[in-house]
Structure 1
C-alpha cells in the first residue's frame, strides 16, 4: 500500500482541525448551559461568583504616581517615569538642571 501524499495528509489535517474546533465549540456550549442551569437553580448572579462579566484578560491598571518635578511657571508636572515631557526637555536643553524642577 502506497503512503498517502502530502496533499492528502494536509487535507486530513485540515479536516481534523475543523473537527477539533467543532468539538471545542460544542463542549463550551454545553459547559455554558450547565453553568447557567446551576446559576438559575441556586439563584446566583455574576456578582456572586466574584468575577467580572467578561472573559477578557485583565489589563494592569495604571496607578498614579506622585509628581517629582514641576515647571515653576506653568505648573506642569512629571512623575519621573516614562519619557521626559517637552517642557522639561526644552528647559534642560536651555541649560537648566533637572534638580531645578524637583519638588
Structure 2
C-alpha cells in the first residue's frame, strides 16, 4: 500500500497534468472562437462583453444631477425620482418641509 507522502506526490502530479491539459484545451477553444468571430465579423461587444482592453464598470453609479438639497448633517440630494434618503424621510416625518433645506 502507498504511503500518504507517495499519494500526495501522485495527486500533485495529476493536478499539474490536469492544469496543463486545461491550458491546452483552453488555447484551442479560444482559437476556435476567434476564428468564428472573424468569419462572421463579430466583436466582443456583439457578444455582450466589453470591448478589448476596456474595463467593465461595476457598481452603482452616482447621479449626474446637481444637488438641490443639503441635509442637517451635510448630506446632499438632487431631489429626483426614486426612494428618498433617510434624512429626507425623517424631516418629512417631523412635519417639516424639505424646501427648508434647499441649497
TM-score range, shorter chain: 0.5 to 0.7
Q: CA RMSD in A?
A: 3.7
Question: Where does the alignment leave 5 or more consecutive residues of structure 1 unmatched?
Answer: 85-97
- Aligned pairs, how many? 82
* Deviating 4+ runs (over 6 angstroms): none
> 1:32, CA displacement in angstroms?
0.4
Question: Where does the alignment leave 5 or more consecutive residues of structure 2 unmatched?
Answer: 78-83
Task: Give the TM-score normalised by the residue count of structure 2.
Answer: 0.56
Task: Give the TM-score normalised by the residue count of structure 1.
Answer: 0.56
Find the aligned partners of 1:57 and 1:19 in 2 and give their Cα distance: 33
1:1-103 residue pairs with structure 2 within 5 A?
A: 3-53=1-51, 59-64=58-63, 70-71=70-71, 76-77=75-76, 80=85, 99=91, 102=98
